[in-house]
Chain A
Amino acid sequence: MKKLSTIILSSFFLLSCGSEEQQECLTNNNEIIVGGSSGFELSDIQVFKKNNGAEPGTLDPHRAEGVPASNVLRDLYEGLVGEKPNGEYIPGAAESWEISEDSKTYTFKIRRDAKWSNGDDVVAEDFVFSLRRSVDPQTLSNYSSMLYPIKNARQIVLGNLEPEALGVYSTDQKTFVVELEEPTPYFLSLLTHSTTYPVHPKSIEKHGASFTRPGNLVTNGAFVLSDWRVQDYIKLDRNPTYWDDKNTTLESVYYLPLDNPDSSLRRYRANELDFTDTTPAEQLPWIRSCLGPELNISPYFGSYYYGFNTTKPPFKNNVELRQALSMAIDRSVITDIILGAGQIPAYGFVPPVKTYSGEKLNWAEWSQQEREDEALRLYIEAGYSSETPLEIEVVYNTSENHKRVALAIAAMWKQTLGVKTTLRNQEWKVFLETRRLKEDTEVYRAGWIGDYDDPYTFSELLHSENEMNHSGFSNQEYDEFLKAASEKNAGEERLSELKKAEKLMLEEMPIIPLYFYVSQHLIKPWVTGLEGNVMDHHYSKYVKILKTETVNSE
């Protein structure tokens, strides 16, 4: 009896704490004035502390993968092309470039004053060395397939040609030439990806695999590696030899590897972080009411979708059924009620980007009721009814958000069509394997963040030979549209091929587009110089820290 009452008491204690946090902001009573009298006065301490979401696997740009590594590498290295805070392309290590008539040859002029952090000049040969290294099978790069547009890259990755056969060369100390297999309109965008960053040849020769350690690492970006404590922090200091160092204000940047969004939020609230990689979904209502202006949400080049396994019944050769299941989902319920961060309901696969606005089917404009009626009609046409309902399994990787979305979709299918859905969650790696094998998946969750800001990074996922085509969608016409697009130069004609492909895909519906992602960052009011952009690329060299004064407002 004594034990029981203790348990009840302690759970009351917990409940009251939990609900209090939901309703009240619970902060110390200090008010902070930012920017001094002018509002733009800078702080004496120019240090920027970011949460990076995870520890980068490596700081070797050619072997790195994933967003956390890319974020750090973007500050350490500078590719040929740079980006403005809003994501617009500007000259990076190259001061200018020329594109040949057939769009297959790019000639870059490397900046005269571009220097490595040890004082060496950045020369064209460094880029030749680096791109060869990036495709060399010996490098064991996970991302070398990104470079397939470069002449002979694929054959080198396959081991059929030597790295020296890559279509890159220098004509003089500061002129670097790249030859492409086909006109690749997004090639400049690839040059902002870490697989194309230059590495310092001499220090790799000298240090071998440990060239990325603090003290060994020589980089050409706005920052240099000053300290790296795995799972603790990565500290970057400004690079005085960087050609644009005069415009850098920050002295240091810290990247923290916190993978738990709740911990990250707490440390943000304790002023130990200036920038969070994301926000915990359950805390969004609280964040909106207590940290409102600090929440930065902007469209992100990512698509959340459900895929059908089109290689097995019931979805094999069954367009009606696939359409019916897609139409029966009220996407606004998912974006507005379940997620609520401003995600955009998706009726097409490619998120809006630059000149490409994406395709939709006509039913995207209908009311949800009309869609549901049509869905029911198609469902019956496919041979199912309330007496003989469809029974399917949805598999997703374990996560609270994926579960909530899956539950809602299962409920919508049940309500509109009477489909009996079983939900199965799997740990991440198990899930990836299940999805890849296509053995016992029926419907699976998926999401994709574009690697470069062109619709092709999405379109290619459903190419019949793409290893990421987990739906098994195989349509010759679709593949031909993609081929036609890749042979064309940038411009409307090429985009129209991609649009045709997307439209065809939507008519076939091998995947159900659900919503487009948004990036969610909490940014302290004293951080300036960052802007939301569709690739969610942020460069610390633009960041300035404003002066703050603490006033006790009690």
Chain B
Amino acid sequence: MNNIKFVLGRFLGAIPTLLALICLAFFLVKAAPGGPFDLERSLPEEVEANLRAAYNLDDPVYKQLYKYIGSILQGDFGPSFQYRDYTVTELIASGFPVSLRLGAFAILLALLFGTIIGTTAALNQNTKLDYSVMFFGMIGISIPNFVMAPLLVLLFSIVLSVFPAGGYNNGAFLNMVLPVTALALPQVAYIARLTRGSMIEVLSSNFVRTAKAQGIPMRNIIFGHVLKPTLLPVVSYLGPATAAIITGSVVVEQIFGLPGLGRYFVQGALNRDYTLVMGVVVFYGCLIIAFNLIVDTIYGFIDPKIKTSR
């Protein structure tokens, strides 16, 4: 019951956050200089007037906002300014599965390898293995993915010809390998460092010493007692990691030419495609709020301390 109350409370708390996000984004987008009809070939005045009227741009901004919120409540994000044959809802619906696939694989990969590497390093603390693993971890963090991605393509697509250099190809496995790797690498490194630090701390705590003194085999201590508290910081990092993966995917999607949501985010802003950029912001906003909610809930299950403090 308590859990349901908690989730419900957080859910209701998300509504004002979302509203604030919409208003802020709306005013910011409108405040940016230039507009959707500033084009290299300037429009004749009469044509521009027609277009402005068709998109309700002549109303005062507060009225536009009011209308906009009204229409998103009905699930309608409006027509795109730039992609005139599509509605924003359709564009998000086509882009999101791509970003989701990319992001989900990247997170899974990062979690899997990050925790394995981090655990290995922690168990072999201050040995050569520890140093070399962490050295590569550092490289992973410090090389941004707009450098890593082209290097991967150069090696694996052009020289070795094993993976395609780009394209989505309906999410075929081979096409996903390089983008997922490029997106996951910094996160692998980050999670590895997080796991290592956390595990070293846990390993030196009293209950581990007690367990050792009781003669419990090391393997049982690790899996039975150490792993769960070790992963707590990793779980709480998942929220920010999702955000990082989403923003990181903007770059990766462009480099690999993937039809994801990230490119709409950037291009929508660059083209002053008001409806598209708003749609993506609102969608991302909902997503991040939802994800944080999920992480908080999971956290509650893993860490009883949090449950009781509610």
Contact = CB atoms under 8 A, between A and B. Distances in A.
A7 B85 contact: no
B158 A210 contact: no
Given A28-B158, A229-B94, A430-B32, 8 more contacts: A137-B46, A230-B91, A231-B263, A257-B257, A266-B158, A270-B161, A270-B166, A436-B42
Contacts of B272: 429
Contacts of B147: 14
A142 interface: yes
A216 B152 CA distance: 40
Interface stretch (A59-67, A87-95, A523-531): A59-67
A551 interface: no
A58 B95 contact: no
Given A213-B85, A468-B42, A270 B164 contact: yes
A289 interface: no
B254 A263 contact: yes
Interface stretch (B18-26, B134-142, B194-202): B134-142
A17 B135 CA distance: 19
B191 to A, nearest CB: 18
Nearest to A139: B50
Q: Which 4 A-B pairs have the closest CB atoms?
A: A429-B34, A231-B259, A270-B165, A232-B259
A27 B158 contact: yes
15 contacts: A7-B142, A17-B151, A26-B154, A60-B84, A157-B47, A259-B254, A259-B267, A263-B166, A266-B154, A266-B165, A267-B166, A429-B32, A430-B32, A433-B33, A467-B42
B157 A270 contact: yes
Contact of A60 (B85, B94, B160, B256): B85
A266 B54 contact: no
A209 B80 CA distance: 13
A286 interface: no
B99 to A, nearest CB: 11
A436 B45 CA distance: 12
A467 B44 contact: yes
A210 B86 CA distance: 8
Given A28-B161, A258-B257, A10 B142 contact: yes
A497 to B, nearest CB: 24
Interface in B53-106: 54, 82-86, 91, 94-95
A263 B255 contact: yes
A263 B256 contact: yes
Interface string B150-184: 11011001111100111110000000000000000
Contacts of B165: 266-267, 269-270, 272
B116 interface: no
A433 B34 contact: yes
Interface string B35-53: 1001111111111001100
Nearest to A210: B85
A3 B137 CA distance: 12
B151 to A, nearest CB: 6
Contacts of A144: 47
Contact of A142 (B39, B138, B164, B168): B39
B211 interface: no
Interface of A: 3, 6-7, 10, 13-14, 17, 21, 26-28, 55, 57-60, 63, 65, 137, 140-145, 157-159, 209-210, 212-213, 229-233, 256-260, 262-263, 266-267, 269-270, 272, 427-434, 436, 451, 467-468
B218 interface: no
A231 B95 contact: yes
A195 to B, nearest CB: 12
B8 interface: no
Nearest to B82: A57
Interface string B241-285: 000000000000011111110011001001110000000000000
B143 interface: yes
A141 B157 contact: no
Nearest to B142: A10
Q: Which of A3, A7, A65, A267 has the most CB of B within 10 A?
A: A267
A436 B38 contact: yes
A421 to B, nearest CB: 23
Contacts of B271: 429
Nearest to B260: A231
- Residue among A65, A158, A209, A432 with the highest chain B CB neighbour number at 10 A: A432
Contacts of B161: 28, 270
B289 to A, nearest CB: 26
A209 B87 CA distance: 11
A458 B117 CA distance: 63
B73 to A, nearest CB: 23
B135 A27 contact: no
B158 A26 contact: yes
A157 B158 contact: no
A467 B48 CA distance: 11
B41 A6 contact: no
B257 to A, nearest CB: 5
Given A263-B254, A263-B256, A57 B45 contact: no
A55 B39 contact: no
Contacts of A231: 95, 258-260, 263-264
Contacts of A258: 166, 257
B43 A270 contact: no
A159 B46 contact: yes
A6 B260 CA distance: 34
A258 B168 CA distance: 12
Contacts of A272: 164-167
Contact of A6 (B45, B46, B142): B142
B270 A429 contact: yes
Contacts of A60: 84-85
Contacts of A145: 43-44, 47
A428 B270 contact: yes
A113 to B, nearest CB: 30
Contacts of A10: 138-139, 142-143
B38 A429 contact: yes
Contact of B85 (A58, A142, A429, A430): A58
B83 A55 contact: yes
Given A28-B160, A142-B43, A427-B270, A57 B257 contact: no
Contacts of A432: 34, 38-40, 42
A270 B138 CA distance: 30
A375 B190 CA distance: 60
